[in-house]
Chains A and B, each alone.
Chain A
Amino acid sequence: MHEFLLVGATFFACLVEMVEALTIVLAVGATRGWRSAIYGTVASTVVLAALVMTLGPRLAALPIGSLRLVVGGLLLVFGLGWLRKAILRAAHLKQLHDEQSIFEEQEHEAREVERTSGAVDWYSFTVAFKGVLLEGLEVAFIVVTFGGAQHSVGMASVVAAAAAIIVLIAGLVVRRPLVQVPENTLKFAVGIMLVTFGIFWSSEGAGIQWPGGDAALVPMLVYVAGASLLMARLLRRTGTLDSRREAVA
């Protein structure tokens, strides 16, 4: 059960974050040339891999109780941020993530900046590096904390890499943002899983014994999902972002 949810959360978290990173790389690559955008992407991937390889084994060396208390707490705080945003998006109180408009915005910005002479276009390199690094940091955080709390950083890394490769292949095939990926729904699901595991592990780390042991994860998942969906539904009744914008205008 733990492994199944670990794989699911890591895979979908990586999938959505890499879709966002791909949009940025595609925009600068298509506008200013691919070489520097690819250099930037490779450089940030190396940094992220080094981060996971440095932190992962250190976490694995810690006693499981303290590890779950600290990592579970961190995962819970981080997951609550994801879930809060997802609920607000579902309630139309926050803009939905729109890859097509982000792509167009990035493309426009990339056209405005003058190209410098030399083998590397530093604008493309920096934008691609920063984009992949910032999106990838969230994945690295999930891989290290989620994987670390179960002493499975290796498995989490493989799953994240698989998701990144799938997005990369899809991006190479279609050569435009992956607007078909239901990002907002996936982020909602990942937020629910992060919060569920965060509650479970940080409580265990604090010395709590769950009734039914590991089996308590399933009702906890249902509880967090149900409460989150209910919040989104109740908030949606207060009106949509567009209607309020119209009122403001």
Chain B
Amino acid sequence: MKYLKQFGLFCWDFVVGDDWRLAAGVVVGVGLSYVLAHRGMNAWWLLPALIVVGLALSVGMVGRGARQVASKAQTGESPQQPIEDS
């Protein structure tokens, strides 16, 4: 059971990576495209738009986190959000 759980976590980390919200966005985007396509609307623009917005939000959050680290360091507070290292 322990190994199965470890394997599951490895697979999750391998495919989904650092931000699960991007994966959730893909599921929502592909699902919406499917529903719209099967209701007669060819929404080819939907997934590309969602992906770029999702990616921008994801990397933007890291940028904001890094700015908070820097500003807290300047004001002498201990940083709450680490910068990604690996």
A residues sitting closer than 8 Å to B (CB atoms) are 69, 72-74, 76-78, 80-81, 83-85, 87-88, 91, 93-95, 137-138, 141, 195, 198-199, 202-203, 205-211, 216, 220, 223-224, 227-228, 231, 235, 238-239, 241, 243-245, 247-248
Residue on B with the closest CB to A76?
B26
Partner of B47, one of A91, A202, A235: A202
Can you give 21 A-B contacts (C-beta < 8 A)?
Answer: A74-B15, A80-B17, A80-B23, A80-B51, A80-B54, A93-B63, A93-B84, A94-B83, A137-B14, A138-B14, A195-B51, A220-B48, A235-B59, A239-B67, A239-B70, A241-B83, A244-B73, A244-B83, A247-B69, A247-B70, A248-B70
Select the residue from B33, B48, B59 with max chain A CB neighbours within 10 A.
B59
B12-61 at interface with A (beta carbon < 8 Å): 14-19, 22-23, 26-27, 30-31, 33-34, 37-38, 42-44, 47-48, 51-52, 54-56, 58-60
In angstroms, Cα B18 to Cα A69, docked, is 23
Residue on A with the closest CB to B53?
A227
In angstroms, Cα B86 to Cα A69, docked, is 31
Q: What secondary structure prevails in chain B residues at the interface with A? A: helix
Q: How far is the CB of B62 from chain A (nearest CB, A)?
A: 5
Write out the residue numbers on chain B whose beta carbons fall within 8 Å of the beta carbon of A80.
Answer: 17, 22-23, 26, 51, 54-55
A84-B17, A87-B55, A244-B83 are contacts. A208–B37 as well, Cβ < 8 Å? yes
Partner of A203, one of B15, B44, B58, B67: B44
Write out the residue numbers on chain B whose beta carbons fall within 8 Å of the beta carbon of A206.
Answer: 30-31, 33-34, 37
Q: Is B79 an interface residue (CB 8 A)?
A: yes
Select the residue from B27, B37, B51 with max chain A CB neighbours within 10 A.
B51
The interface on chain B, measured as residues whose beta carbon lies within 8 A of the other chain's beta carbons, has a size of 42
Write out the residue numbers on chain A whose beta carbons fall within 8 Å of the beta carbon of B38.
Answer: 207
Other A-B contacts than A85-B17, A224-B51, A231-B56, 13 sampled, CB-CB below 8 A, are A69-B34, A72-B30, A80-B55, A81-B17, A88-B62, A202-B33, A203-B47, A208-B47, A209-B42, A220-B48, A227-B55, A244-B73, A248-B70
Partner of B22, one of A84, A227, A231: A84
Q: Are A208 and B85 in contact (CB under 8 A)?
A: no
Q: How far is the CB of B32 from chain A (nearest CB, A)?
A: 9
Q: How far is the CB of B2 from chain A (nearest CB, A)?
A: 19
In angstroms, Cα B14 to Cα A81, docked, is 9
Q: Are A88 and B59 in contact (CB under 8 A)?
A: yes
Q: Are A248 and B56 in contact (CB under 8 A)?
A: no
